[in-house]
Amino acid sequence: MLIDDIQYENAEGKNDGISLSRSSEISPFSEEHVLFRQSFRAFLEKEVIPNINKWEKEGEIPFEIYIKFGEMGYFGLDFSEKYGGSDSDIWYTVILHEEMAKVNSGGFAAAMGAHFFLALIHINAEGNEEQKQKYLVPSIKGKTYGCMAVTEPFGGSDVKAIRTTAVKKNNHYVINGNKTFITNGVNSDYIIAAAKTDLKADSKGLSLFIIDRKTPGVTATKLDKLGWRASDTGEIAFDNVKVPFENLLGEENKGFYYIMEHFVSERLSMAVASSATAQHAIDITIKYINEREAFGQKIGKFQVLRHRIAQMASEIQLNKQFVYSLYKRFENSEYLVKEASMAKLLATQLCDRVTFQCLQMFGGYGYMEDYPLARMWRDSRLGQIGGGTSEILCEIIAKSIIDKKGYKVPDNNKIS
Ligand SMILES: Cc1cc2nc3c(=O)[nH]c(=O)nc-3n(C[C@H](O)[C@H](O)[C@H](O)COP(=O)(O)OP(=O)(O)OC[C@H]3O[C@@H](n4cnc5c(N)ncnc54)[C@H](O)[C@@H]3O)c2cc1C
Q: Are 61 and 231 in contact (CB under 8 A)?
A: yes
The residue whose CA is least distant from atom 11 of ligand 1 is 150
Instruction: Please tell me which residue, 408 or 18, carries the higher pLDDT value.
Output: 408
Helix (H, G, I), strand (E, B) or coil at 213: coil
| 149 Cβ below 6 A of ligand 1 | yes
DSSP H helices, 83-195, are 90-101, 106-113, 120-126, 129-131, 137-140
d(CA 44, CA 11): 14
| 225 Cβ below 6 A of ligand 1 | yes
The answer to whether 266 is a known catalytic residue is yes
Tell me the average pLDDT across 25-34. 90
| 32 Cβ below 6 A of ligand 1 | no
Tell me the average pLDDT across 295-320. 98
**From the alpha carbon of 149, which atom of ligand 1 is closest?**
11
pLDDT above 80: residue 346: yes
Looking at residue 13, its pLDDT comes to 40
| 389 Cβ below 6 A of ligand 1 | yes
Q: Which of 226, 149, 210, 166 is nearest to 383 (CA)?
A: 226
| 385 Cβ below 6 A of ligand 1 | yes
pLDDT above 90: residue 27: no
pLDDT above 50: residue 306: yes
Helix (H, G, I), strand (E, B) or coil at 411: coil
Determine the distance separating the centroid of ligand 1 and the alpha carbon of 228, expressed in angstroms: 15
| 212 Cβ below 6 A of ligand 1 | no
| 156 Cβ below 6 A of ligand 1 | yes
Looking at residue 95, its pLDDT comes to 98
Please tell me the least confidently modeled range out of 53-62, 215-224, 250-259, 400-409. Answer: 400-409
The residue whose CA is least distant from atom 14 of ligand 1 is 181
The residue whose CA is least distant from atom 35 of ligand 1 is 391
pLDDT above 60: residue 20: no
Among 266, 339, 391, 395, the one annotated catalytic? 266
Looking at residue 307, its pLDDT comes to 98
Residue 406 — very low, low, confident or very high, per pLDDT cuts 50/70/90?
Answer: confident
**From the alpha carbon of 225, which atom of ligand 1 is closest?**
1
For a mutational test of ligand 1's pocket, the pick from 158, 162, 181, i.e. the residue with the most ligand atoms closer than 8 A to its C-beta, is 181
Determine the distance separating the centroid of ligand 1 and the alpha carbon of 231, expressed in angstroms: 17
The residue whose CA is least distant from atom 12 of ligand 1 is 151
Strands (E), 245-331: 248-249, 293-294, 297-298
- At 202, which amino acid appears? D
Determine the distance separating the centroid of ligand 1 and the alpha carbon of 279, expressed in angstroms: 26
pLDDT above 60: residue 168: yes
Give tens-digit pLDDT for 356-378.
999 999 999 999 999 999 999 99
| 233 Cβ below 6 A of ligand 1 | yes
Determine the distance separating the centroid of ligand 1 and the alpha carbon of 393, expressed in angstroms: 11
End-to-end CA distance of the chain: 57
**From the alpha carbon of 228, which atom of ligand 1 is closest?**
1
Please tell me the least confidently modeled range out of 134-143, 314-323, 399-408. Answer: 399-408
Give tens-digit pLDDT for 294-303.
999 999 999 9
% of the chain beyond a pLDDT of 70: 92
pLDDT above 60: residue 353: yes
Q: Are 212 and 200 in contact (CB under 8 A)?
A: no
Residue 1 — very low, low, confident or very high, per pLDDT cuts 50/70/90?
Answer: very low
pLDDT above 60: residue 7: no
| 236 Cβ below 6 A of ligand 1 | no
Give tens-digit pLDDT for 106-143.
999 999 999 999 999 999 999 999 999 999 999 999 99
Looking at residue 19, its pLDDT comes to 36
Looking at residue 330, its pLDDT comes to 95
Distances (CA, A) of 146 to 124, 250, 303: 13, 17, 49
Determine the distance separating the centroid of ligand 1 and the alpha carbon of 50, expressed in angstroms: 32
d(CA 79, CA 133): 13
pLDDT, the chain, mean: 92
Looking at residue 8, its pLDDT comes to 40
Residue 413 — very low, low, confident or very high, per pLDDT cuts 50/70/90?
Answer: very low
Looking at residue 179, its pLDDT comes to 98
Determine the distance separating the centroid of ligand 1 and the alpha carbon of 263, expressed in angstroms: 14
pLDDT above 90: residue 23: no
pLDDT above 80: residue 17: no
| 183 Cβ below 6 A of ligand 1 | yes
Looking at residue 155, its pLDDT comes to 84
Long-range (24+ apart) CB contacts under 8 A made by 401-408 are: 401/338, 407/335, 407/337, 407/338, 408/335
Instruction: Give the distance from CA 41 to its chain's centroid.
Output: 18
